[in-house]
Structure 1
Amino acid sequence: MRPIIRTTDAELEKLQHASFNYFLHETNPANGLVIDKTEADWPASIAATGLALASYPVAVERGFMSHDAAVKRTLATLRFFWNSPQGPEPDATGYRGFYYHFLDMQTGRRAWQCELSTIASAFLLAGALTAGRYFDADTADEREIRTLADALYRRADWPWAQNQGATVTHGWKPESGFLNYRWEGYDEALLLYILGLGSPTHPLPESAYAAWAATYRWEHSYGYDYLYAGPLFTHQLSHIWIDFRGIQDAFMRSKGIDYFENSRRATYVQHEYAIDNPLKFAHFGGHCWGLTASEGPGPDTINVAGIERQFFDYLARGVPYGPDDGTIAPWAVAASLPFAPEIVLPVLDYCI
């Protein structure tokens, strides 16, 4: 049996540094756009770009990036989004203060006839606001960062994104109008609704948040009562920007917990699911868990040890109801470190 070695702070910092290097090396420095994944001719993701904006201050504090380099990269990104084409034209970059999910890495124009994404725009705006708070020096560049971050946030028209409904739609396309799907059921849209409610110019009504929370599912699984969402990332993303410890809305007050505690419980459900391993995948267990949205080995159906297994490519995998094709995303476990270090560190010990 492989001995368990305690993961050191230096090893955790090395892991963090290596992860940050994606944003350092997979970005167009001219416009700040970050490629969605490292595949030839792939477009940028505005969600990844928002995460990059949020990571630059951390990188400066950790010594992974100089302050001047972070200012330069951040300013290039915010200038691009502020000055890029906003309009109903099908090849624009955005519309109504929101942006298309995928953009051409060089031109910054809409890629793949994708949707104007409300959730990806929320991550982008959250990253911009992070930059606006962090870069607080009285210099021309940092004053411009603050001005642009505020202007981008103020431009988003959240009530328009409701399309006369109670909740917020997933997005819009110039060819067909609003998407049929809405942000309902607990998920990463927690951040979206908070940003929408807080807008100083085009705020969502309080009723929008109440309508969203009315679609929650409180469940019991593997010994834990929690607000259900299957993939791990849904319990993590909003927490990048907001420390929810001690913050409760009406729903959480009724349950006697907060969203941080809920994410801790969801992490344990994932851990216990892997130990239970209902679909009998090889190696699932206490040191091998973490189902979330990720790439996969499919699409394909393969006979594995006498069992026909269906495998998917990119998919939001989750527990306990699936989908589960045996694909583990190690990053999802590492990102659970703030919520449950006692079960995450042993996995990192095993892997590092």
Structure 2
Amino acid sequence: MGTVSDAIADDEMLDKFQRDALDYFVRHADPVTGLVADRDRPGSPASIAATGMGLAVYAVAAERGWIGREEAGRRTRTTLRFLMNSHQGAEPDASGHRGFFYHFLDMRTGQRAWKSELSTIDTALLMAGVLVSGRYFDRDREDEAEIRKLADQLYRRVDWRWALNGGALVCHGWKPGKGFLPYRWLGYDEALILYVLALGSPTYGIEPECYSAWLTGYRWKTIYGHEFVYAGPLFIHQFSHMWIDFRGIRDAFMHGRGLDYFENSRRATFVQREYAMRNPRGFDGYGQNSWGLTASDGPGRQRQQIDGTTRSYFDYCARGVPFGPDDGTFSPWAAFASLPFAPEIVLPTIRHVHASERTGDVPLLGASFNRTFRTGSEDGWFSTDQVGINQGPIVVMFENHRSGLIWRLLRGCSYIVDGLRSARFSAGWL
């Protein structure tokens, strides 16, 4: 049993990590467009997913008094105004089309960057943040009324039906001159939030049958004694939970299995730690407080012969457990973002990282590292970049654990409620 002083120390520790992650959005949002950089590397384009997370981060920061409400409102208005006024059209240098936005945008002009796709999932993460803004800034003031109006307009403009491209499942994306990508969102993944938003739209909503079609791709597995809807990378079990409180509410699939998505993510979190403790592939650094396989940077595509074993490494990829890919790269932030699901195992991990930070044994928060990789006379590879979509979940998921702020805000959003009901969620707070 922890003491009062332990609880105070933990509270101060969570404050520290949240504020460190908040700093990313303060430093790496363009003052004119409000867009948030994909990563802190010079010349990085904006990520629309990171921009959506940034909108939620501003609400958390204002609520905790880390930045003033007026500053948070100013940052939010800047972003929403730019998104609303940026060019939508089929031209290859537009910001978006049919209410969707390109995955990457130029930080200063807002034009499409890197010939990226019009991304349905990244637009969904952006719109989730937009709706948070509309809910948080609820005061009877002209500036906050403008935020609510812009948030509503941006969400209602997204043409989710168009993204079906004549099928039952939402397409991953679209490119000018080429059309829709050949992939569709099928089976349990980060698109749970996408389908809820698409079902809840009063202007371009999709049909409940689309959600039923998505469910047909689910994989139910038993791993280390835990039964759950399987997905290997940890972020899949977190990204939709940043926005929606799934505690106690169930769709048809979960009704049949006797659990909810919150419990599903809890089990996935325990599986992640158990995998690191078992460490079946014998990587350096894995253990009880060193875990978190997710989508992340890596040492790069190469092979090394280490102690008679050939090790293959990857660039950025979605690492997962227990079936891989796994090259020994893990991300502490991914373990951190599971705090609401399993505080009894995540808090010790956060404490371990907190202690290790002081001795320089752990890289920058939000980065990834690989202790097996060999670089000349030194062991280990460390990511040098901080990434926006790694920082956002730390702020938001810590806050959902501590106060439930983002969950509470979107429980009161009619679009989210309508989307959940259209997907046939019931019970609990619904």
TM-score computed with the length of structure 2 as normaliser: 0.80
In structure 2, C-alpha distance between the alignment counterparts of 1:122 and 1:244, rounded to whole Å: 17
Q: CA deviation at 1:300?
A: 2.1
Q: CA deviation at 1:312?
A: 1.2
Deviations 1:21-73 (A, max 9, x none): 11111110211101101112111000000000011110011122111110100
- Local SS of the residue matching 2:196: helix
Q: Which moved more, 1:249-258 or 1:295-304?
A: 295-304
- Local SS of the residue matching 2:56: helix
2:170 is matched with which residue: 146, 168, 175?
168
Structure 1 residue 344 corresponds to structure 2 residue 338: no
- Local SS of the residue matching 1:301: strand
- Local SS of the residue matching 2:82: helix
- Local SS of the residue matching 2:50: helix
Structure 1 residue 209 corresponds to structure 2 residue 216: no
- Local SS of the residue matching 2:101: strand
1:15 is matched with which residue: 7, 14, 17?
17
Task: Tell me the residue number matched to 1:252.
Answer: 254
Structure 1 residue 332 corresponds to structure 2 residue 334: yes
Task: Tell me the residue number matched to 1:103.
Answer: 105
Q: CA deviation at 1:304?
A: 2.6
Task: Tell me the residue number matched to 1:128.
Answer: 130
Q: CA deviation at 1:76?
A: 0.4
2:68 is matched with which residue: 59, 66, 69?
66
What residue ranges of structure 2 are gaps of 5+ in the alignment? 1-5, 355-430
Change beyond 3 A, Cα 1:195–1:5: closer
Task: Tell me the residue number matched to 2:53.
Answer: 51
In structure 1, C-alpha distance between the alignment counterparts of 2:177 and 2:306, rounded to whole Å: 43
In structure 2, C-alpha distance between the alignment counterparts of 1:291 and 1:149, rounded to whole Å: 34
1:78 is matched with which residue: 69, 77, 80?
80
2:91 is matched with which residue: 85, 89, 92?
89
- Local SS of the residue matching 2:161: helix
Task: Tell me the residue number matched to 1:294.
Answer: 296
Structure 1 residue 41 corresponds to structure 2 residue 43: yes
Task: Tell me the residue number matched to 1:200.
Answer: 202
Task: Tell me the residue number matched to 1:182.
Answer: 184
In structure 2, C-alpha distance between the alignment counterparts of 1:320 and 1:225, rounded to whole Å: 14
Aligned partner letter, 2:25: F
- Local SS of the residue matching 1:34: coil
Q: CA deviation at 1:193?
A: 0.1
Q: Which moved more, 1:121-130 or 1:291-300?
A: 291-300
Change beyond 3 A, Cα 1:62–1:266: same
In structure 2, C-alpha distance between the alignment counterparts of 1:194 and 1:283, rounded to whole Å: 38
Aligned partner letter, 1:75: R
Q: CA deviation at 1:302?
A: 2.0
1:221 is matched with which residue: 223, 226, 245?
223
- Local SS of the residue matching 1:286: coil
- Local SS of the residue matching 2:214: helix
In structure 2, C-alpha distance between the alignment counterparts of 1:304 and 1:144, rounded to whole Å: 59
TM-score computed with the length of structure 1 as normaliser: 0.97
Q: CA deviation at 1:171?
A: 0.5
Deviations 1:117-165 (A, max 9, x none): 0000001111010000000111111111000000001000111000011
Q: CA deviation at 1:6?
A: 9.6
In structure 1, C-alpha distance between the alignment counterparts of 2:81 and 2:152, rounded to whole Å: 12
Change beyond 3 A, Cα 1:260–1:222: same
Give the aligned length: 349
Deviations 1:225-284 (A, max 9, x none): 000011000000111111100110000000000000000000011011111111110121
In structure 2, C-alpha distance between the alignment counterparts of 1:46 and 1:79, rounded to whole Å: 14
Task: Tell me the residue number matched to 1:150.
Answer: 152
Task: Tell me the residue number matched to 2:3.
Answer: none
In structure 1, C-alpha distance between the alignment counterparts of 2:7 and 2:127, rounded to whole Å: 40
Name the Cα RMSD after superposition: 1.3
In structure 2, C-alpha distance between the alignment counterparts of 1:146 and 1:349, rounded to whole Å: 39
Map 1:264-303 to 2 at 5 A: 264-303=266-305
In structure 2, C-alpha distance between the alignment counterparts of 1:242 and 1:345, rounded to whole Å: 22
Aligned partner letter, 1:138: D
Aligned partner letter, 1:350: H
Deviations 1:282-338 (A, max 9, x none): 121111110001111112222233322111121110011100011010100110110
In structure 1, C-alpha distance between the alignment counterparts of 2:66 and 2:334, rounded to whole Å: 22
Aligned partner letter, 1:237: F
Q: Which moved more, 1:55-64 or 1:97-106?
A: 55-64
Change beyond 3 A, Cα 1:7–1:181: farther
Q: CA deviation at 1:5?
A: 11
Aligned partner letter, 1:248: R
- Local SS of the residue matching 2:304: strand
Query: Which protein has greater RCO, CA pairs closer than 8 Å, 6+ apart?
Result: 2
- Local SS of the residue matching 1:182: coil
In structure 1, C-alpha distance between the alignment counterparts of 2:289 and 2:140, rounded to whole Å: 48
Q: Is the 8 A contact 1:5 1:349 kept in 2?
A: no
Task: Tell me the residue number matched to 1:312.
Answer: 314
What residue ranges of structure 1 are gaps of 5+ in the alignment? none
